[in-house]
């Protein structure tokens, strides 16, 4: 019988560029409208949040190894804003579903979504204040 080696989980320290790249990838994923729309999604995100197309693209593909603190804060605020928008869309869909078929469980879910929207708004505001 052989000896089994156990794997120790190590916490990898991520740089701010790696974290920002993850935010950018998730924002691009939710912004794209289908195959071949990545470049236009990057442009839309850049215009919407005041970020350079090339900064977003270089982060997305892993070319950027560093990111300035002000850019990191804007990306973090943009990610929080995009999450808030998605939560608001989800809340709207839940309200529409409840209008057709009232359900007590749906009201609890709506309350949780409203709380999430409020937390995301607070996070976005805190990030924007930190970036100034």
Please give the average per-residue pLDDT across 32-45, as a whole number. 94
Contact 93, 42 (CB under 8 A): no
Closest CA to 60 of 89, 80, 31: 31
Contact 83, 27 (CB under 8 A): no
Binned at pLDDT 50, 70 and 90, residue 1 comes out as very low
As a whole number, the mean pLDDT across the chain is 85
The CA-CA-CA angle for residues 128, 74, 38, to 5°, reads 145
Given this model, what pLDDT does residue 100 score?
Answer: 75
Question: Which tokens sit at 33?
Answer: 């409208």
pLDDT surpassing 80 at residue 99: no
Given this model, what pLDDT does residue 69 score?
Answer: 93
Residue 22: CA atoms inside 13 Å, Cβ hemisphere, count?
A: 6
Given this model, what pLDDT does residue 11 score?
Answer: 66
pLDDT digits (tens, 9 = 90+) for 80-95: 999 999 988 888 888 8
Binned at pLDDT 50, 70 and 90, residue 9 comes out as low
Given this model, what pLDDT does residue 77 score?
Answer: 93
Give the residue extent of every domain in the chain: 16-131
pLDDT surpassing 90 at residue 6: no
| 87-117: b (≥16 Cβ within 10 Å) or e | bbeebeebeeebeeeeeeeeeeebeebeebb
Strand runs labelled E in 2-127: none
What is the C-alpha separation between 45 and 27, in angstroms, rounded? 8
């Amino acid at each position: 019988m052989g000896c089994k080696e156990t794997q120790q989980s190590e916490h990898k320290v991520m740089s701010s560029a790696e974290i920002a790249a993850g935010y950018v990838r998730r924002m691009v994923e939710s912004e794209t409208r289908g195959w071949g729309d990545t470049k236009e999604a990057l442009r839309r995100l850049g215009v919407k949040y005041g970020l350079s197309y090339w900064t977003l693209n270089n982060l997305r593909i892993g070319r950027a190894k560093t990111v300035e603190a002000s850019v990191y804060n804007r990306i973090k605020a943009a990610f929080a804003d995009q999450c808030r928008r998605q939560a608001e869309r989800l809340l709207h869909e839940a309200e529409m579903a409840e209008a057709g078929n009232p359900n007590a469980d749906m009201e609890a879910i709506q309350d949780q979504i409203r709380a999430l929207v409020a937390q995301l708004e607070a996070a976005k505001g805190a990030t924007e204040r930190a970036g100034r």
